[in-house]
């Protein structure tokens, strides 16, 4: 599997020739990374200097760069390689009805994935409200998503151990999913979202799509199509965050960023989940991030079988290796 490179609070990132980058740290140490096998880069921290020629080099490899800090998540990319202009022309001329149909299926996939997590842990999930109205264009999709997500999140939080919730509340004033809140749960989930955004952005580029032209998220975001597309890949991130917190104590440093020691088990659990094979198809979630991007491009061009663009997370269908039994 191509490598996702995590860089924890580097001081400076420079390039070497046309095949690698050099990462410098405050200690004076530095490391060289070859770009050939890197699929995405995650920079964690607020004080990193990145030379402009590094951005150009990453663009030549179609490697997205995600920056995670106290301000949130930013995805930087420069789609120099336009592989399929016909696909992009079709994407730019999607009707509002067609864009709404894509957004509806992605949101519903996320909601169904959250329900599957609850079922996996033997918790009866609430039904999806106003589903028919959303499908028939009688309700705003963002409002519909918000209503159902809040109801599902109340149940999902119950998957955390009582001792974990108690510590989060007492130490961090934890109140559930709040994207910018300084607590290990929200910081961990935001980090995994950033990782997913980065991988998905490259998948969309590989399929010939423009990540900057979305179907539901607004253009004020740098990669609105990435945010639309990854709705259905958020449940694995949520599941990995819950599993990690229930087995490891995650800590924040003085800047409100997850410590390096906390990131390691979190990312390990995330990749354990997304590389587990589906017992029915033999495919992994990581595989689907790429293959469903091609299915989206295919649907945009030919408007055939919209259900082929959908991925639904279901941990009950995953097969883990001997060393990685399901939790």
Summarised one tens digit per residue, pLDDT across range 177-222 is 988 899 999 999 999 999 999 999 989 988 889 998 999 977 666 7
- Domain CATH number, residue 97: 1.20.120.920
pLDDT at residue 321 greater than cutoff 80:
no
Question: Where does 61-140 have alpha helices with state H?
Answer: 85-92, 96-120, 131-135
Does residue 128 lie in a domain region? yes
Per the structure, the count of domains in the chain is: 2
Confidence of residue 18 (pLDDT cuts 50, 70, 90): confident
Residues 148 and 21 in one domain: no
- Domain CATH number, residue 15: 3.100.10.20
Does residue 327 lie in a domain region? no
Residues 23 and 130 in one domain: no
Residues 103 and 34 in one domain: no
Q: How far apart are CA 229 and CA 208, in angstroms?
A: 14
Average pLDDT of the chain to the nearest whole number: 90
Q: Which of 2-16, 62-76, 288-302 is predicted least confidently? A: 62-76
Q: Which of 107-111, 116-120, 237-241, 301-305 is predicted least confidently? A: 301-305
pLDDT at residue 36 greater than cutoff 80:
no
Phi, psi of 68 (to 5 degrees): -115, 120
Does residue 19 lie in a domain region? yes
Residues 65 and 128 in one domain: no
What does DSSP assign to residue 25? -
pLDDT number for residue 38: 85
Give the global pTM. Answer: 0.81
Does residue 325 lie in a domain region? no
Residues 231 and 101 in one domain: yes
pLDDT at residue 326 greater than cutoff 80:
no
Burial call 270-288: b when 16+ CB within 10 Å, e when fewer: bbbbbbbbeeeeeebbbbb
Does residue 50 lie in a domain region? yes
Q: What is the CA radius of gyration of the chain?
A: 20
Residues 250 and 273 in one domain: yes
Q: How far apart are CA 207 and CA 127, in angstroms?
A: 34
- Residue 92 lies in domain: 85-319
What does DSSP assign to residue 80? -
Residues 137 and 54 in one domain: no
Residues 103 and 22 in one domain: no
Q: Which of 76, 103, 120 represents a domain boundary (last residue)?
A: 76
Residues 176 and 99 in one domain: yes
Closest by Cα among 229, 193, 196 to 211: 229
Does residue 324 lie in a domain region? no
pLDDT digit string, tens, across residues 104-121? 999 999 999 999 999 999
Residues 151 and 276 in one domain: yes
Q: How far apart are CA 65 and CA 39, in angstroms?
A: 10
Are the C-beta atoms of residues 20 and 29 closer than 8 Å to each other?
Answer: no
Does residue 252 lie in a domain region? yes
Confidence of residue 170 (pLDDT cuts 50, 70, 90): very high
- Residue 88 CA to chain centroid, in angstroms? 23
Are the C-beta atoms of residues 270 and 195 closer than 8 Å to each other?
Answer: yes
pLDDT number for residue 324: 45
Q: Which of 29, 58, 76 represents a domain boundary (last residue)?
A: 76
Are the C-beta atoms of residues 263 and 255 closer than 8 Å to each other?
Answer: no
Q: Which of 55, 76, 97 represents a domain boundary (last residue)?
A: 76
What tokens were used for 177?
């999913």
Residues 241 and 176 in one domain: yes
Phi, psi of 15 (to 5 degrees): -115, 160
Burial call 217-238: b when 16+ CB within 10 Å, e when fewer: beeebbbbbbbbbbbbbbbbbb
Query: What percent helix, strand, coil does the chain show, rounded to 5?
Result: 50, 15, 35
Are the C-beta atoms of residues 313 and 236 closer than 8 Å to each other?
Answer: yes
pLDDT digit string, tens, across residues 253-293? 988 899 999 999 999 999 999 999 999 999 999 999 999 99
Residues 21 and 140 in one domain: no
Does residue 326 lie in a domain region? no
């Amino acid at each position: 599997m191509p490598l996702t490179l995590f860089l924890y609070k580097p001081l400076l990132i420079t390039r070497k020739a046309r095949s690698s980058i050099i990462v410098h740290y405050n200690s004076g140490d530095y490391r060289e990374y070859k770009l050939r096998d890197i699929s995405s880069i995650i920079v964690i921290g607020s004080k990193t200097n990145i030379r402009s020629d590094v951005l150009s080099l990453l663009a030549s490899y179609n490697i997205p760069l995600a920056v995670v800090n106290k301000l949130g998540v930013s995805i930087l990319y420069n789609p120099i390689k336009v592989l399929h202009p016909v696909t992009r022309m079709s994407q730019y001329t999607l009707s509002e009805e067609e864009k709404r149909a894509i957004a509806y299926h992605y949101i519903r996939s996320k909601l169904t994935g959250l329900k599957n997590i609850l079922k996996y842990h033997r918790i009866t999930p609430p039904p999806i409200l106003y589903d028919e109205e959303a499908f028939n264009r009688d309700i705003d999709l963002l409002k519909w998503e918000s209503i159902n997500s809040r109801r599902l999140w109340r149940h999902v939080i119950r998957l955390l151990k009582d001792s974990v919730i108690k510590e989060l509340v007492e130490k961090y004033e934890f109140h559930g999913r709040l994207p910018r809140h300084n607590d290990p749960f929200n910081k961990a989930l935001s980090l995994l979202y950033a990782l997913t955004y980065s991988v998905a952005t490259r998948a969309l580029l590989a399929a010939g799509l423009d990540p900057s032209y979305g179907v539901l998220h607004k253009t004020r975001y740098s990669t609105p199509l990435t945010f639309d597309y990854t709705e259905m890949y958020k449940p694995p991130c949520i599941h990995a965050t819950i599993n990690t917190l229930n087995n490891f104590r995650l800590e924040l440093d003085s800047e409100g960023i997850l410590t390096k020691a906390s990131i390691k088990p979190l990312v390990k659990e995330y990749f354990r989940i997304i590389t587990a094979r589906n017992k029915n198809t033999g495919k992994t979630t990581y595989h689907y991030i790429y293959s469903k991007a091609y299915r989206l491009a295919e649907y945009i061009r030919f408007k055939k079988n919209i259900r082929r663009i959908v991925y639904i997370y279901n941990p009950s269908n995953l097969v883990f290796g001997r060393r990685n039994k399901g939790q």
